[in-house]
Structure 1
Amino acid sequence: MKNYKKTLTACYLGFITQAISANFVPLLFLTFHRSYSIPLSKIALISTCFFFTQLVVDLFCAKFVDRIGYRVSIIISEITSGLGLAGLALLPDLFVNPYAGIITCTIIYAVGSGLIEVLVSPIVEACPFENKAGTMSLLHSFYCWGSVGVILLSTVFFHFAGLDRWRILACLWALVPLYNILNFATCPIEHLVEDGKGMTINQLFKNKLFWLFCLLMVCAGSSEIAMAQWASAFVESALHVSKTVGDLAGPCCFAILMGISRVFYGKYGEKYDLKKFMVISGMLCLACYLIAAFAKIPLMGLLGCALCGFSVGIMWPGTISIASKSLPLGGTAIFAFFALAGDLGGSLGPAIIGFVSQRNGENLQSGIFAGIGFPLILVLCVTFLLLKEKTETKNKKPE
């Protein structure tokens, strides 16, 4: 009998690996600036390079992953993630230009992160679990727990061992994906559709529902990442606290509540209609953005930030679950394009908040108000799907 729990454990660690890749290096931005005299303008490009590489990998996966195979591809993801993280301890000091060494490592582990983002969801979706939507939500919660773990454990390590030993911590974090190679090499892995029976990319592009789901993913990615990325700066400026306190109070609270939301739906999701749950979540997200944008009391703004994490929790995995049910022959390509759409939203949302804030005299609250469009569009799209489902059910009833 196949042990699909081992597959699930490997995928949990896969998302934790992605969380390490996304959150560890940003904690070292100021350290890189001071140690290697790298200008802050170049430091900011590290995140851009990370997300751009993920976008390229998303496009690559849509075309080639089915040919290479899930197992080989996901093992490559763990190898590149581990090598990229471990390389941070060596390459910046080996290269004549330390910045080139950091960017090289960033590209390597971003390749792994991009592959994980595309592959882990379809691997779990293909397993014969009963509550697919709940399982998917629980799976995605591990990215949240990974993010919280990276921030908290790294902060504790730096406090006791010192910032100058960050290379040791990079190697320790690299052990997670390197260990997970064994899990993915030995666990059972199924495929979503049989060879030759999945929809082609052209067929997907001609399907109107596919584009609606892509729009949903853009909105989900933006609603989540826009608030998550600006949470620390928002808390610092609103509450006038240090960066350490801002990181813990902002991104950590956001990630914890997002994780709780996903665990809640993972455990009790069978009792709720996923589309209705997403509509309520979208409306709560809209309310959180408005609270953060207009709160006169700083603690109310922090509450809006934190609760936003809970509201966005179901958006990304929920869209994947609804789309998988609506387009069962979408195959790996659909997950690759959804990852691309989510990353696009994750790039647009923070950029809009930053741009509007700058145009309004560095006022972050005005920037956050500008971000309400994405949860609003998400609510409208899911409401449309609900009405469509209601109409189809009504038409199927015998007269």
Structure 2
Amino acid sequence: MKHNFGAGPCILPKEVFQEASQAVLDFDNTGLSILEISHRSKEFEAVVIETERLVRELLNVPHGYSVLFLQGGASQQFAMVPMNILPEGAKAAYLDTGVWASKAAKEAKKVGQVEVVASSSDRNYCYVPKGYEIPSDAAYFHFTSNNTIYGTEVFETPKASIPIVVDMSSDILSRNINVADYDLIYAGAQKNMGPAGVTLVIIKDDLFGKSGRTLPTIFGYEAHAKAGSMYNTPPVFSIYVSMLNLRWLKAKGGIAVIEQENIVKARTLYDEIERNPYFRGTADVADRSRMNVTFVMDTPELEAEFLALAKERNLIGIKGHRSVGGFRASIYNALSIGSINALVDAMQEFEEGKK
């Protein structure tokens, strides 16, 4: 058995893979593959309807929000957000907590003014800034809730008198949130929701047309909302597999249950990092991510040796990002506590071998 700690595309439940593979051969007894079925067919329209319903149910999305399934990933949202809600001559406020947050601000600067309210770049993004002020004259405030490369996560929603926009690509559906605290949520599906190719957007309807800009239709949120995410040919397979994964999450008991599992998984691994003299966490304790656990060795020369042991034990994808080094264990929803225990066992085996 392989234990997949890769940062994305994500691990998915085995039963989701099995059902999706069957649909590739014959979708819903239509005699057609999910890969070839018309996106205008009643069978696929039912998929989109159910996927939206599951998102609304699992996240308790309030009335007055639209749920969209778009393409282009979070990187496209870096541009679509300011295009849609940053008026000409106005400014947007951004919190810089890592590579993706920085890229989001960089794209917004191509559309209008950006004020970076705080940054943790001074310590290689190993913490989440605190005590910053969000300007009340900005059109919106943007932050990234989980930073996959650096292993930090924002657990308390910043308070502001202006619309709040959040990139939840790597922790969506992993913990309870109050959607009403946000005006726009976006998330690439490929961490916790489904395969790469679809991006979830949850947007308050009041934001439609807020920028006052004349946009190409495909870049306007309102057009996608009016078309039920069918303005252009949608990512059929990605939406379908996301639906299967959302069904799995609901059957487990929903987000309250998966959040508790994620807390246990993260605590188990962080406890071993704290205990084991060969490993050290890179993120400040208060800001440690439950989704991406980053750690290093005080003796970097030993890292290659531990990676070799991990490979022997079928622990896949734990090499850290080049900007941090060391190791990164991405422990998304579908990763079992058994896989966490396998990694902990390998860390303890490494320790024993050095005595």
Would the TM-score normalized by the shorter structure come out above 0.5?
A: no
Greater fraction strand: 2
Q: Could you tell me the TM-score, scaled by structure 2's length?
A: 0.27
